[in-house]
Amino acid sequence: MNSSIRFVLPLLIAFPIAACAASDGSTGVAVQELASTMVAETAEAQMAAAHAETLAAAQSPTDPPPPATATPPPEPTATTGPLSLEDDFSSDTGYWDCDNCEIENGQLHFGPYPVSGAFLQHFAICTACGMVTTYYMSVDVTFGEGPSERGYGILVRGREDYLLTYEITPWQDFDFWRYESADNEWTWVNGLWAGAVRAGRQTNKLEIEVSKAPNGATDIALTVNGKTPIVIFGQPGESGLVGLTLFGHAVDVYFDNFEFDTDEVPTYPSNYDWLEA
């Protein structure tokens, strides 16, 4: 608005000068030329000032430029499974925690434990497998020496508060057991006699598949020599250790061709001292 006023005022001044010059014939032309020159110079100065203001405004914007946005670093992602392990026991892989196991002739010789008044459940823990909820595991097992009614097999889940085990005997039966630490008590969950179990010192292939149920629990399929005589439904959907089992003293077994697969990311406890029932 101020720049418009500066442009108008010189023109208003110039008209009286021109009128005076018209009344004096001797000086009219000079005055008219002087007035025209003043108007032209003033207009030029006005235009130059306006151009300078425009240039300054372009060089110094009133709004600061938006801050530069840095590219955010990528979010870290957890390493997912699967974890797959195999052990043919041709050498010590370091996968196992067992206080009475030896690698012998391409097998894991488990036991015997000294005779005692207590029938304890002994474990060979797969430390490399860690603690998982859902998985597949298989192993070949052959009975060695000792009372034939005593079981051996798989630690399905090992936790400080409870244990789940799956065992067979040379008597051709198999059983699914749960142990409660608070009560120091074993409970038979399910099982039966089945011709799927090879009697005596014949080798049996044991398989466990633990899968998620729609309600968040887990279902456990028990397979012997390619036959699945039973599925245990509705077990807790919690993670635990896995491994091999031997129930009682004065008996030994031989394990071979161990396999383990999970799609989970295992967790690993600092020690396994608590796992003895």
Q: What is the DSSP annotation of 63-108?
A: SPPPPPPPPPPPPP-PPP--EEEEE-SSS--S-EE-TTEEEETTEE
- Position 137 confidence tier, pLDDT thresholds 50, 70, 90: very high
What number is the average pLDDT over the span 178-185?
92
Which pLDDT score, from 0 to 100, does residue 72 have? Answer: 55
194 or 29, which is more confident?
194
Q: Report long-range pairs for 162-168 (Cβ below 8 Å, ≥24 apart).
A: 163/121, 163/275, 163/277, 164/189, 164/220, 164/235, 164/240, 165/121, 165/245, 166/206, 166/208, 166/220, 166/222, 167/245, 167/247, 168/141, 168/197, 168/204, 168/206, 168/224
Asked whether 199 and 120 are in contact (CB, 8 A), the reply is no
Lowest mean pLDDT among 118-122, 126-130, 225-229, 230-234: 118-122
Q: Is 15 helix (H, G, I), strand (E, B) or coil?
A: helix
In this prediction, residue 39 carries a pLDDT of 47
pLDDT at 74 over 60: no
Torsion sign over Cα 84, 89, 93, 95: positive
**Mean of pLDDT values over 183-187:** 91
Question: Encoding tokens for residue 166?
Answer: 């799956």
Q: What is the pLDDT of residue 276?
A: 58
* Average pLDDT, rounded, for the chain: 78
Q: Answer with the residue of higher pLDDT: 105 or 274.
A: 105
In this prediction, residues 225-253 reach a mean pLDDT of: 92
Q: How far is 142 from 156, CA to CA, in rounded Å?
A: 19
Distance CA(17)–CA(29), nearest Å, equals 12
Do 135 and 261 contact (CB within 8 A), yes or no? yes
Does residue 211 surpass a pLDDT of 50? yes
- For residue 195, what pLDDT is reported? 82
Determine how many CB atoms are found less than 10 A away from the CB of residue 20: 13
pLDDT of residue 133: 97
pLDDT tens digits along 5-28: 333 333 333 434 334 444 444 444
Determine whether 260 is exposed, middle or buried from the number of CB atoms within 10 Å of its CB (0-12, 13-18, 19+): buried
CA separation for the pair 52, 6 (Å, rounded): 15
**Residue-level pLDDT at 271:** 79
| Closest to 138 measured CA to CA, from 264, 246, 260 | 260
Instruction: Please identify which residue in the block is written with the tokens 């840095």.
Output: 70
pTM recorded for the entire structure: 0.69
**Does residue 153 or residue 118 have the better pLDDT?**
153
pLDDT at 131: 96
